[in-house]
Amino acid sequence: MSAPLRVGVIGVGVISKQYFETFPRLSNLRLTAVADLDVERAKAVAAEQGVAALTVPELLASDDVDVVLNLTIPAAHVPVGTDALRAGKHVYAEKPLGLDPAEAAPMLALAEERGLRVGSAPDTVLGTGIQTARRLLDDGAVGAPLSAAVAWSSPGHERWHPAPFFYYQPGGGPLLDMGPYYLTALVTLFGPVERVSGTSRRSPRERSVGTGPNAGAPVPVTTDTSMNAILEHRDGTVSTVSFSFDLWATRRPLFEVYGTEGTIAVPDPNRFDDPVELWTAGTGEWRAAPANAGYPGAARGTGLADMARAIETGRPHRASGDLALHVLEIMAAVTVSSETHTVVELQTTVDRPEAVPEGADPATW
């Protein structure tokens, strides 16, 4: 293995803690610097991590940074990522890749032009949960795949997030916030989507911050809060998806795959290693499916380690910008379909990412 890829983090908010917890276990990554618009917060995090606290321009210009981990808000993902590429850095960003495909596509073109990599969360699909479900599907455990049903809901992030305002602005909403986990998993399982039909609505319910220093502050809502769609995959599978910030409770299945010979209960794609369950016509009952694929112990940052290894070996990385762009177009198509009451044909496509074999290490495999 060559020298670790040196990582500079821009944006040290809530999600950054999960990455910092994972870095010590990823031998091909080394955190070297952090930056944030809140300079004092950056200094505090830098002291905790034993790295340099820099301004954003300083981090982009640093010779001690090979890749920028972009953990800013969604509206800044493309501007910050583009600046990093222009500075000669690889980029790995939190989801979504951008606010819309037209904004994000030029960033990927710039990366290709400069021989740099762009990766994007979610990397949860690289854990043992989704990868075991994929292996069952590929091995024919439920026969030929027919359809999938996905449903995610909550009463709203304002109940737990101390500053939830961006979730209810353009670039937020349940689709852009939670959709990438489920849609990336669906593309990982079945391949790209070709056509989308969607509906959406905005709840009239008034919202306020439930915790932290902003508790009680009203949360203006300027984006739709519930979305539903039908996705037609290239392989013929049809997925129905539902995402909502409006539901107080539900008993609907979270994620199920239906085949000619049975059903796979897919674990939560917002997590890495929850168990998979399998029901087949031959057994007539649910049973646990042993984990037999995926990076064991995966956590946020695994996709970046996989990208670092791909850079070293010259292979495609799994949590790629192309995959994230396709997922972003799926989400944009849901909105367009809802507004126009039409079926939307997608323009992007992507190959299914290479499967992760059992027991692989992202730093060496």
User: Which residues are tagged catalytic?
Assistant: 95
Answer yes or no: are the C-beta atoms of 99 and 335 closer than 8 Å: no
Looking at residue 190, its amino acid is F
| Element containing residue 119 per DSSP (H, E) | strand 118-120
Tell me how far apart the alpha carbons of residues 20 and 41 are, in angstroms, rounded to a whole number.
15
Tell me how far apart the alpha carbons of residues 34 and 27 are, in angstroms, rounded to a whole number.
19
The three-class DSSP label of residue 168 is helix
Q: Where are the alpha helices (DSSP H) in the chain?
A: 16-22, 39-49, 56-61, 77-86, 101-114, 128-138, 173-190, 302-313, 321-340
- Residues forming a β-bridge with 152: 243
Q: Could you write out the three-class secondary structure of 273-319?
A: CCCEEEEECCCCCEEEECCCECCCCCCCCHHHHHHHHHHHHCCCCCC
Query: What is residue 31's DSSP assignment?
Result: E
Looking at residue 90, its amino acid is H
Region at 115 (left for phi over 0; alpha for psi -120 to 50; beta for the rest): left
Nearest to 198 by CA among 170, 240, 155, 137: 240
The three-class DSSP label of residue 145 is strand
Tell me how far apart the alpha carbons of residues 356 and 23 are, in angstroms, rounded to a whole number.
20
Tell me how far apart the alpha carbons of residues 132 and 261 are, in angstroms, rounded to a whole number.
18
Tell me how far apart the alpha carbons of residues 84 and 243 are, in angstroms, rounded to a whole number.
32
